[in-house]
Structure 1
């Protein structure tokens, strides 16, 4: 019997209802503004490197597919990380790696602290994976035993810990992370996106059920969209089966390989950002009603009397930061400021002096 296609009218019914109910990740327009909302490195590539960098990119044959195994780049990154190349998996930013991990793990609940990086929750929901949250304490500390209890209760298969945490900026004690790593039966992903600005790493915890996730975006390569995950070789080999072919384009591979040869430059920039972070935290605390939280990332979270008002007023001064107030809970009346260059940070302080103290910038 011949089937006829029914005509669909009105709102599309092809999209899953749960997807319709989600909000897309919003990236605000920053044209003409001092952009301090996305944790980017404020320093452009020095002119002294641009000529050789341009020559490197111009040698890439873009008519050919990129190296599917990314052998040279994985070897360089592995050397930089102090592991073997077969322990490295590359992704189009850490977001793609989070997606690969969630897709590859057995069905079951994903457990995350709250608040934390929103993409753990969002990507889990894309794949219909339940998410359970463990609220942080008022000082943003994490109770390891409570976290493990939730993992056990929810029969969790995967958990994410951002170390340092985003958007709070704090780094939980190593004892807390190790307690969870050793006590959790599922896969624990330790996300070190802000590792370059932190006092420690967690690669020593890598095991059959522990991965360490990193990205070059915060260090100064945000435009390349390159992340990587470190794990045991067997785990990485299985995750590689759900990686899309040619996921890292030829220009990114060439650029990253070149930049790794000059990595000391980006380490020096990270040191400068940490110095500015300390200066900014101290300066922000001098404003009436402003409370800053300790940070080991390249941003500062601060709580103010009226986050919405201050956010809008900073925009009128040409400064874009991140308003966390809508998230509610511990983030009520909180704003997150990326650490910029000295001039950009001075502009923030001058604008806040104008807004809060009525001093003309």
Structure 2
């Protein structure tokens, strides 16, 4: 089964780097608790992220833990978490877990930000926390940066720009952290090739992070994730080279989808492509029967009717997917 459903990096690490990791893991003191502050890993992240002056990072067991920590930090009776829809489902789920009210603002028909509707929702609901995925998942597009800036300025509470797919995107709000007192930027290394480590970070003002650290559980990032991530980030250029290859593969795949009859593909700045096709669930099942697993989004949100999402794979995997998709569509015609 070709697995193209979870936005993972399809490329293995170079053999020399795998051997280096094997030595690091072999010498790890797993009988000891990890460094609760993860000082060395944080130092490495600050360096590769090129954080603006006065900014720091908080580490999480993937982005999900950070989203939960943020929600718990601001949760109180009638507190509102606001986001756009469709977007990352964990915003809404964690709002419910934390006892917050959730407000989802629909995107436009072409999945752009509806700025007037978003600003109106902020004015009416006064959200304590706003999440904006940039690029957005599952649509793959980058929203207008000027519109996001207006949302940050209008929001009475924290605004978190979720840059899970930063390595594949043409823009970032990380350099803008110093411009807005209520802005935080969240990233994960999962899409860059570390999905199995479960490591994410939140970047922002030390004033905010010092308070959020009080809610972080101790030892939330284990010995092995700390050591392996620090080693991999010492070779950040290798991971970014793989990301550049994925961007080239994405363009090839997008062009093939655009050229496929009865398929509407949406431009992406992530490592996946959203597309719409008639009888989406049947197409999804047909692909599975042909050995290709992607994500079926049909039925998950009204705006995603007949939508499927495919992760960008290796060139060989992408070719097999396109052939299987065309064969499935032909059979259903």
Q: Deviations over 1:32-59 (max 9, x none)?
A: x111000000011221211111001111
Aligned: 1:197 with 2:168? yes
What's the secondary structure of 1:251's corresponding residue? helix
Question: CA contact under 8 A between 2:87 and 2:137: conserved in structure 1?
Answer: yes
Aligned: 1:241 with 2:210? no
Paired residue for 1:56? 24
Q: Give the whole-Å Cα distance in 1 for the aligned partners of 2:26 and 2:265.
A: 45
Q: Give the whole-Å Cα distance in 1 for the aligned partners of 2:197 and 2:301.
A: 33
Aligned: 1:98 with 2:71? no
Matched ranges for 1:200-211 at <5 A:
200-206=171-177, 207-211=180-184
Q: Structure 2-normalised TM-score?
A: 0.96
Matched ranges for 1:1-361 at <5 A:
33-83=1-51, 87-107=56-76, 108-206=79-177, 207-357=180-330
192-201 or 204-213, larger mean C-alpha shift = 204-213
Q: Give the whole-Å Cα distance in 2 for the aligned partners of 1:148 and 1:186.
A: 13
Q: Structure 2, unaligned stretches of length 5 or more?
A: none
Aligned-CA RMSD value: 1.4
Q: Give the whole-Å Cα distance in 1 for the aligned partners of 2:185 and 2:70.
A: 12
What's the secondary structure of 1:271's corresponding residue? helix
Q: Structure 1, unaligned stretches of length 5 or more?
A: 1-32
Structure label with greater radius of gyration: 1
Question: Shift of residue 106 of structure 1?
Answer: 4.6
Question: Shift of residue 155 of structure 1?
Answer: 2.3
Q: Deviations over 1:181-237 (max 9, x none)?
A: 112111100000011100011013323311000000001000000000101001011
Question: CA contact under 8 A between 1:208 and 1:235: conserved in structure 2?
Answer: no
CA separation of 1:218 and 1:106: change in aligned 2, threshold 3 A: same
Q: Give the whole-Å Cα distance in 2 for the aligned partners of 1:252 and 1:96.
A: 15
Paired residue for 1:6? none
Q: Structure 1-normalised TM-score?
A: 0.88
